[in-house]
Structure 1
């Protein structure tokens, strides 16, 4: 154990500047993401009263809630980026929350895409839409299911709290953990891609309606897929390489660990972008948000309109 700690400290010292940068990025994501998500969820509760709102609002609320709960654990992650020793209990709780809330964020993102897919592509399938409209029950089911599937993260540390510990021996718990990890990212990604392609095709077929709104809808659908791919796929593929660490040289292992940790930082960016893509993309929600938190922008816009009217 002492030798492992020594190796760990050597690796940290060699990459001190890099991991301070990683830690700084995580802290910045934590501050910006928490402020934005809390303001959005406050709007859901105070103005929209989401529990009385449309189906999509309940899913959006749960998406933002999952992102907030994920962000809360980021200070611990930032600390672990700079330290070799850690409290194992705190580490496992942080990993459990990380996996639970990231999984919930991805799950609600996927459900929202499926709901929009049936609403746009198959509006006549009322039975399926009726099932999807049971959003409170679906939301509870998602949280309970993910809580059960995330238990392996508490039994054994996933990957490591700091990335320099030795790999674990294969076991049934580790295998289950890896299956959950990959399926909760790859399957939703393919679902998102399929739903997005079908929605875009359907929107392109529409000959009536506001063309600006149609283009905006297609841009949003495409952006969601791109953000998901950028945030989650790099660190997923790097995890595949990590699982093959036994077949590469020690120097290559260290390089892969550094790359993986960098992609972990990138994945947290999703928590910052979700409120923008899913909430502020709605003109109604955007107006409410600006009027509540950024009223000066609304006054500026009204002043510009008044000036234009005066010039005419």
Structure 2
């Protein structure tokens, strides 16, 4: 089938869908991630492995949020796929891949700490976590820069849009390495951690409530990751397959529409990550008294008789 005249674009009402969802996502995401970065960097005294990873996760989510307005503008004003567009696309995908990678590393770190606590004392430390995070940033930036240089975007007219029906092997490799391998690692580590926690709960009845809460948190993290990202990357995979087998234009267009909607869902993860910070990390409990104390001191200095409430 000759598909040389087939040009794939986002459906007409998609820019409006983006606007309705991304505006609250931007406002809430920037607020929550900025608050998380402030607490992690300014209000805690002791650096831990988890704290290092959470700072990098919040940073990646924060930077990804700043690319969303450009993504919206590209749909509203049909921006061309020029050099500036490739830079914006690169930043967008770098931060998403970094977010996925950090979530995966946190799951592996949690697995190591619970499954092999003695080895974890040797293998885990804040400097090693910082080195791992820095290494991930360098690798992802270099790989994404290489992908953008090797990508054939000559047939794509619009920014953030694969309008051609030519299959991209580079994109397929990025999908597998950037998502499906992390998904396997995350799923394995999470399931193993849940199994180990349940085993400990059966052995220690006194900590049953604490362990049960930990199981819920690990399960919630895995579910949120799958719900947010799996539809998008399945859509990308379907798009590659349909481009490869030369499906008709209408079928490819339907898959493309699904990918666009799934990308909106994936980007809401920036907010969900920030919400999870409070529940996942005991560091916030450490910060709570300090935050409350700061509020009390501020009230005394301004002579406003307000009670200091610990939430």
User: Structure 2-normalised TM-score?
Assistant: 0.81
Matching of residue 236 in structure 1 with residue 233 in structure 2: yes
Of 137, 151, 159, 2:145 maps to 151
Aligned equivalents of 2:121, 2:40: Cα separation in 1: 28
Q: Deviations over 1:92-148 (max 9, x none)?
A: 111111121111111111111111101111112247634786112111111111111
Name 1:221's counterpart in structure 2: 218
Name 1:21's counterpart in structure 2: 17
Structure 2 alignment gaps of length 5 or more: 297-306
The secondary structure found in structure 1 opposite 2:117 is coil
Matching of residue 167 in structure 1 with residue 165 in structure 2: yes
Aligned equivalents of 1:64, 1:42: Cα separation in 2: 10
Q: 2:228·2:265 contact (CA, 8 Å) conserved in 1? A: yes
Please state how far the C-alpha of 1:48 moved relative to its aligned partner: 1.4
In structure 2, the CA distance between the partners of 1:289 and 1:249, relative to structure 1 (3 Å rule), is farther
Q: 1:23·1:82 contact (CA, 8 Å) conserved in 2? A: no
Q: How many residue pairs align between the two structures?
A: 288
Q: 2:33·2:62 contact (CA, 8 Å) conserved in 1? A: yes
User: Structure 1-normalised TM-score?
Assistant: 0.81
Structure 1 alignment gaps of length 5 or more: 303-312
Q: 1:235·1:264 contact (CA, 8 Å) conserved in 2? A: yes
Aligned equivalents of 2:133, 2:42: Cα separation in 1: 20
Identify which of structures 1 and 2 has the higher relative contact order when contacts are C-alpha pairs closer than 8 Å and 6+ apart. Answer: 2
- Give me the CA root mean square deviation: 3.1
Matches within 5 A, 1:1-312: 15-48=11-44, 52-86=46-80, 88-126=82-120, 129-130=123-124, 134-155=128-149, 156=151, 161-163=159-161, 165-168=163-166, 174-206=168-200, 207-208=203-204, 209-246=206-243, 247-286=246-285, 288=287, 292=291
Aligned equivalents of 2:278, 2:139: Cα separation in 1: 25
Aligned equivalents of 1:276, 1:295: Cα separation in 2: 22
Q: Deviations over 1:24-80 (max 9, x none)?
A: 21232222111110111011111015xx51111111111111111111100011112
Aligned equivalents of 1:196, 1:162: Cα separation in 2: 33
Compare 241-250 and 74-83 and name the one that shifted more: 241-250
Please state how far the C-alpha of 1:290 moved relative to its aligned partner: 9.0
The secondary structure found in structure 1 opposite 2:65 is helix
In structure 2, the CA distance between the partners of 1:126 and 1:286, relative to structure 1 (3 Å rule), is closer
Compare 249-258 and 259-268 and name the one that shifted more: 249-258
Aligned equivalents of 1:244, 1:83: Cα separation in 2: 30
The secondary structure found in structure 2 opposite 1:226 is helix
Aligned equivalents of 2:195, 2:108: Cα separation in 1: 15
Aligned equivalents of 1:127, 1:281: Cα separation in 2: 21
Q: Deviations over 1:276-301 (max 9, x none)?
A: 223443355057369749979x9566
